[in-house]
Amino acid sequence: MLYSTKTAEQKRIDLRQTLKQGGAQQFPGAFTPLTAKLIQEKGFPGVYISGGVLANELGLPDVGLTTLTEVAVRGGQIARLTDLPCLIDADTGFGEPMNVARTVQEFENAGLAGCHIEDQFNPKRCGHLDGKNMVDLDTAVKRIAAAVDARRDPNFLIMARTDLRAVEGLDAAIARMKALVEAGADAIFPEALKDIGEFETVCRELEPLGVPVLANMTEFGKSELFTRQQLADAGVAMVIYPVTLLRSAMGAAERVLDAIKEEGTQQSQVEQMLTRARLYELVDYEGYNAFDTGIFNFDVPTLDIGANHADL
């Protein structure tokens, strides 16, 4: 009931213990607190919070228009409703090294378990778009060093993302990854790798450094949608699905709106909807009812497959 039963500190420990080479732990992307609860209920080990999704939720493109406050507040709302560790997208850190330092501490305050910081210019572009502009190595290193220096909880995960693969090739990207690890990065996010062989190469090159590697399995991107087993065999530690739930939800919303417009009713779509009983279960009406019947003194609907649609 209410919020997570775990402290932020424990969730940060959980995240570090989860990330093992070849583990390919799956972190679906949450775009609301309620979706984070659903991710936990389905047995996943963690939650990913995409900067692109948070921008899209505000009706904005993923080009660096969101502010630190907007991202930290929404990230905190998601994190506090789940016992799972949440990794959040920090884009370019919202400014220069001092801004990066503040970003890390705001995310710590929000109860997040870790963040990743990338090496594009600000304003950035979505990692699977062309025409990205990259900062030089010195700037990229300073961002990570500032993040590491600023954190107060040593278990808060600092992940370095590099988009250099699409601009200068794999060898240059790997060289930068190693420099970012040297600067203190706890994990690496190589964006937009070409094929499974490139994931294998990155994991092999970074294995001696002891840092986990993340794979971004976003739809309609530059990487094929590899299976968890394929990525585990390549040595990947963590797999994110950043926009999958948002795209699924918006696709469903569009279909229902079309039906209402064309058919004059939503009736044809009701079978695909989350029932009222299931929604009440997710938000734990029963728990609140048991806690204080003086306020919540009604009967909570149960999951009844044979229920009349009028009761859903």
Residues classed as catalytic: 48, 62, 89, 91, 116, 118, 126, 161, 191, 216
Q: Long-range CB contacts (< 8 A, 24+ apart) of 139-145?
A: 140/176, 140/179, 140/180, 141/179, 141/180, 141/182, 141/183, 142/97, 142/183, 143/92, 143/93, 143/97, 143/100, 143/117, 143/119, 144/117, 144/180, 144/183, 144/184, 144/185, 145/97, 145/183, 145/184
> By the 8 A CB rule, do 141 and 127 touch?
no
Helix (H/G/I), strand (E/B), else coil: 101: helix
- Decide if 246 contacts 56 (C-beta within 8 A): yes
Distance of alpha carbon 111 from alpha carbon 81, whole angstroms: 10
Phi/psi class of residue 284: alpha, beta or left (left: φ > 0; alpha: ψ in -120 to 50)? Answer: left
CA pair distance 29, 46, nearest whole angstrom: 9
In contact, 141 and 115? CB cutoff 8 Å: no
